Amino acid sequence: MAGLADDLYDVIGLLRRRSRRLVGVPLPELALSGAQLELLRVVRRNPGITVAESARVLGLAANTVSTLVGQLLALEVLVRERDSSDRRVARLDLTPSAREGLEQWRDRRAQATAVALAGLPAAERALLAEALPTIARIAADLPEKPVTGPEVTDPAHASAGDRENEPSGGGDRP
C-alpha cells in the first residue's frame, strides 16, 4: 500500500507542478505562500466563511489560520467583516481584485487541463471521473492530526494490538 500511496502523491504533485509552470501562480506580485494561497482558495469557494470553518476545511489550527488571515488582510487581498446577526462572528471574503485574479488563474488552469483531458480516450476520461470520489474519500479519511510513533501499517495486516493503537480517520467516527 505504501507504494500506491507514494504513486498517488507523485502523480498529484506532478499535475500541480506542471499546471503551475504552464499557467503560473495567482497574484504573482504578492509571492503568496502555499498556506496563504490555500486559504484564499477556500474563501473564494466559500465567501463569508469564518476563521474556525476555514481551519476545519484546511485541517489547521484556528490560531494558524488567524495568523494567515492577518497576513492576507495586510496584503489587502482578504476582507474581514462582522456578521450582521452575530457581531462576535467575523466573516471572510476576497477583495474584488483578489477574486478576479484567483478566478482568472483557476480558469487558465482548468482550460489547460481540459485540453489534456480532451486528448484522452473516452474510456480513460470515464475511469478518471469514476476515481474522483475515491480520491476525495482518501483525502477525507486522512487523520486530522499528525501520525506519530511507529510507522502506520496496513490495517488489513496489522495485529489486533496494532489496530487498537491506530489513529481514527478523523471526522465523526470514534
What domains can you pick out in the chain, each with its CATH number?
Answer: 2-143 (1.10.10.10)
pTM above 0.75, yes or no: no
Beta strands in the chain (DSSP E): 78-82, 90-94
Q: With contact defined as beta carbons under 8 Å apart, do 127 and 42 qualify?
A: no
Residue 39: what residue type? L
Place of cell 504552464: 22
Q: Residue 43 in contact with residue 92, Cβ under 8 Å?
A: yes
Q: What is the per-residue pLDDT across 2-47, written as a single tens digit (0 to 9) for each?
A: 899 999 999 999 998 898 889 888 888 888 888 999 999 999 999 9
Rounded-to-integer distance, Cα 8 and Cα 172, Å:
25
Residue at grid coordinates 502523480: 11
Q: CA–CA separation, 169 vs 141, rounded Å? A: 5
Name the residue type at position 148.
Answer: T
Per-residue pLDDT of the chain in tens (174 residues, 90 and over written 9): 889 999 999 999 999 889 888 988 888 888 888 899 999 999 999 999 999 999 999 989 999 999 999 999 999 999 999 988 888 888 999 999 999 999 999 999 999 999 999 999 999 999 999 999 999 999 888 887 776 655 555 444 443 333 333 333 333 333
N-terminal to C-terminal alpha carbon distance within the chain: 24
What is the amino acid identity at position 167? Answer: P
| Three-state DSSP state, 92 | strand
